[in-house]
Amino acid sequence: MAAYLSAGNYTSLNRGNPLAFYNVRRELDRVSEAKPTELKPEDRTLLLEAIFDDLRPGGVWAQWPEHIHVAALNTLKVLGRNPVGSGEVLLKNENLATLVYHTALPFPGRGRSTVQPTSKPALEALRGLANTLVLHPSTRNKLSTMGAAEAIARAVADDSLPDRLFLLCRVGFLVTAYGSGVQSMVDKENIVPRLVYHLHNVTPVPAHYDTLSELLKLVGNILRWYPAKDARSTETPWDPALKALLYPVLNIVYTLPFTDLIAPLTHALHALLCIPFNAELLPTWNSAPASLFDDGSKKKKGFFGRMSRSSNDPPPGLPRPTSYDDNLGTLSPPSGGSGGSRSPSPTLSTTSAASDENGKALLSRMTDVTALPRRLIAILAGFVKDRLHGRSDPDPGLALDNVLPPILLLAVNAANGSKEMRAYFHNALFPVDLDRSPKSEPLEKREGLLGTLLRLMNGHAHLQCRDTAGELLWAACGGDESVLCDEIGYGNASGILFRKGMTGPPPARVREIEPEPEPIAAPTPRHAPSGRPPPSATFPSLPPSTLPPSRPPPRVPSPSRVPSPNRVPSPNRVPSPSKTPPMQPPPMAPPPSIPPPRIPSPVRLSGYSQQSSASQAQPRVSTYSQQSAQRLSTHSQPSTTRNRHPITALEQPADDGWSSPFAGMTDEEKDREAEKMYALFERLERNPILQAGAPTASGAPKPLRQVMADKVAAGEADAWERREAERERLEAEREADMIEEEAMRELAAYRNRMGRR
């Protein structure tokens, strides 16, 4: 049995006598190196009280050499790791004040410490204070009431060594974990400019990753808790006083030379989640370090050159990078520059930010609306390739629900806040050259980013990843369910649509077929009677005075032609009958004596629910609201030859050309089919199963679809999925236990057999 250490070996020493310093150091080392089981709780309490008494202002520690001073503070840290016998001592206000005194932090209302801030004892005291805040959360409120947040803000304002800055930011992060003191740090101590300075000054190299991580965690707390959020408000709080923090954090995201979701990159992404994409901040969101751009080339350095897409150029219709100038404030510049970045080319038109009193300029930057989505897509693609390994199992110990959702949420915010970024996400996730052939693999079974997102959004093992992956695809499609189903198929989109309360298929999506080259003549329908003449080009012309001289006269749509749903003819373009002569048909096409037959419009419906009525005999026209048309126009133009399956979003085998589903049918046959469809709808409306549900206030039963939508809105579907996931996990554990027990029985039987031999 191991012998216990006794506190009397230390307390019995004359610790202020220089002749006993050797024994003091020996006992401190024995205690700090001892195992937790070698010290009884009562001895731990006595040792802590004795060491705190020695470290009081004016105590015997002032006579110690520096190495004994450091050893005593280290022993406090080690003894505090075991809460049994130490919690009561560490939580005393006088003991906390003693520990704070040796940190040399400038607490308001307290005398100045005689310990130098950059000395080894001060750094060791900061380590002990951080250790106490982690192991004893109740000390955070006590330190906050003592003014710890203001003291950290004042200490950060000094030019500090990386080790001290690391400890200051860690203590500041722990003290402000619940928002205490953040208001005074920003308003009274003006900590924002100093944080901006350190964000630029700490070079993103492996030696400084820990310091950068703690700095970003403190920045994240300030962005999260300032200003104080009203519990009744649903909007994200934001104050322009924090605007200067955006670009330094973005710069770290761009200049870190890796794409793995590890610190400090994850902490930078968490901080960016607290910043909105409003009109004031969009120019900063669209900026990137100028050193990432190549000399006069459209291709980018670093992560810009390692994209998952086939092309490095921005999507069509997006502006090219231009110079950008914004004042960052009077701050000191970074001391070592960004790791992995080089000086901007002299051929680029760059503008440096404001200079400090020493005349050194901060990092210059340029505008590129695709910079942030490019970086996020590169990080996601690299994470899927390196950590998820395609369709195989992810790395063991990888907590997907803790690692992946933050970057997905940031991508969602970017897509919702910027049309250009949304267009880039759409083109990157659904590229034009995406293989959708009927013989290709289903989208949800493919390797790569899109296949992984589809598997995550339809899985049940990682609920946070499921929701955020679905939100990213939803945002990339502009929040349009028709566009989402067209890109990934209703089979993949049904889950997120159901969680959003959309229990039915989305409306049809309109695609306009490009006009054919001249001469323009309406084709003869297959169902036209032989006695009727084919509809000729009955497009009356407008007077030349109303037209631009460089363009031919426009054609006014006839009943047999349907304009694009995205272009509404302006009434000002058609002259008034009182001011212009009546329109005459072209001489080559006399007006017909009978109305022309109904011809299918050159508009294709690629959707999942079609109206079935007598009106289907008319040209297939679907009116789109202006909002839907604008959302649709922000994405890449759809191909006019594709015919996608509504469930899988893969291309369906098609004939030489698209033909109307009513081709070859007479008007009477179409009317009969419409009557059959109406009869079917009436039977569905009378179906007692579909009408069943909870009674409403008027006494009528609520439709089953409405009942299901209410359950989804109340979160019952998510709760059921969580219960099912927990049940499956428990069943898997029971099965594993049974297999293990069976293996142990077989092993015991084997040993018995071997023993008998």
Q: Which amino acid is at 157?
A: A
Q: Clarify whether residues 95 and 20 are in a common domain.
A: yes
- Which class for 110: exposed (0-12), middle (13-18), buried (19 or more C-beta within 10 A)? middle
* 432, pLDDT greater than 70: yes
Q: What is the DSSP letter of 641?
A: S
Of residues 497 and 634, more confidence is placed in: 497
Higher pLDDT, 527 or 405: 405
Question: Do 108 and 2 reside in the same domain of the chain?
Answer: yes
Asked whether residue 569 is domain-assigned, the answer is no
Distance in angstroms between the alpha carbons of the first and the last residue of the chain: 40
Would you say residue 363 lies in a domain?
no
Say what the pLDDT of residue 157 is: 87
Please indicate, yes or no, whether residues 114 and 165 belong to a single structural domain of this protein: no
- Domain boundary at 249, 268, 285, which? 285
27 and 139: one domain?
Answer: yes
**pLDDT the model gives residue 75:** 96
pLDDT of 246 strictly over 50: yes
The verdict on residue 278 lying in a domain is yes
**How many domains would you assign to the chain?**
2
For the cut 90, the answer to whether the pLDDT of residue 126 exceeds it is: yes
**Do 29 and 106 reside in the same domain of the chain?**
yes
What is the reported pLDDT for 708?
74
Ramachandran region, residue 290 (left: φ > 0; alpha: ψ -120 to 50; beta: rest): alpha
> Does an H or E element contain 367, and which?
strand 365-367
Determine, yes or no, domain membership for 39: yes
User: Do 105 and 198 belong together in one domain?
Assistant: no
> Could you read off the pLDDT of 533-591 as tens digits, one per residue?
444 333 333 343 333 444 444 443 443 333 343 333 333 343 333 444 444 434 444 44
- Alpha-carbon span 574 to 421, nearest angstrom: 38
Q: Are residues 107 and 34 in the same domain?
A: yes
Residues 6+ apart with CB under 8 A from 592: 533, 535, 536, 538
Whether residues 127 and 35 share a domain: the answer is yes
What is the average pLDDT across 71-90?
A: 92
* CA-based nearest residue to 118, from 153, 71, 149, 159: 159
Q: What was the pLDDT predicted at 697?
A: 66
Q: Does residue 750 sit within a domain?
A: no
Q: How many helices (H) and strands (E) does the chain have?
A: 28, 5
Answer whether residue 710 is part of any domain: no
Q: Find out whether 604 and 511 touch, Cβ atoms under 8 Å.
A: yes
Percent residues over pLDDT 70 in the chain: 67
More reliable by pLDDT, 107 or 754: 107
Residue 271 lies in a domain: yes
Q: How far apart are CA 144 and CA 107, in angstroms?
A: 10
Among 118, 146, 174, identify where a domain stops: 146
User: Could you say which DSSP state residue 714 is in?
Assistant: T
Residue 200 pLDDT > 50: yes
Place of tokens 């999507």: 315
Which of 146, 167, 183 marks a domain boundary? 146
pLDDT for position 700: 67
d(CA 96, CA 57): 13
96 in the same domain as 188: no
Residues 452 and 657: their CA atoms lie apart, in Å, by 34
pTM of the predicted model as reported, rounded to 2 decimal places: 0.66
Angstrom distance (rounded) from CA 346 to CA 344: 6
Query: What number is the average pLDDT over the span 237-262?
Result: 94
At 748 the pLDDT is 86
Do residues 269 and 250 make contact, with C-beta atoms less than 8 angstroms apart?
no
* Same domain for 172 and 138: no
Higher pLDDT, 695 or 593: 695
Domain ranges, residue 167: 158-228+238-285
Flag whether 575 is in a domain.
no
- What does pLDDT average to over the chain? 76
d(CA 305, CA 340): 14
Which residues face 701 on adjacent strands? 695
Mean pLDDT (whole number) for 139-147: 92
What is residue 215's predicted lDDT score, i.e. its pLDDT?
97
pLDDT band at 722 (very low <50, low <70, confident <90, very high): confident
Instruction: Indicate the helix (H) or strand (E) that contains 604.
Output: strand 603-605
- Average pLDDT on 265-290 reads 95
Same domain, 85 and 199: no
Residue 515 has pLDDT above 60, yes or no: no
In this prediction, residue 699 carries a pLDDT of 64
| One domain, residues 195 and 140 | no
DSSP-assigned beta bridge partners for residue 289: 365
Among 485, 373, 490, which residue's Cα sits nearest to residue 427?
373
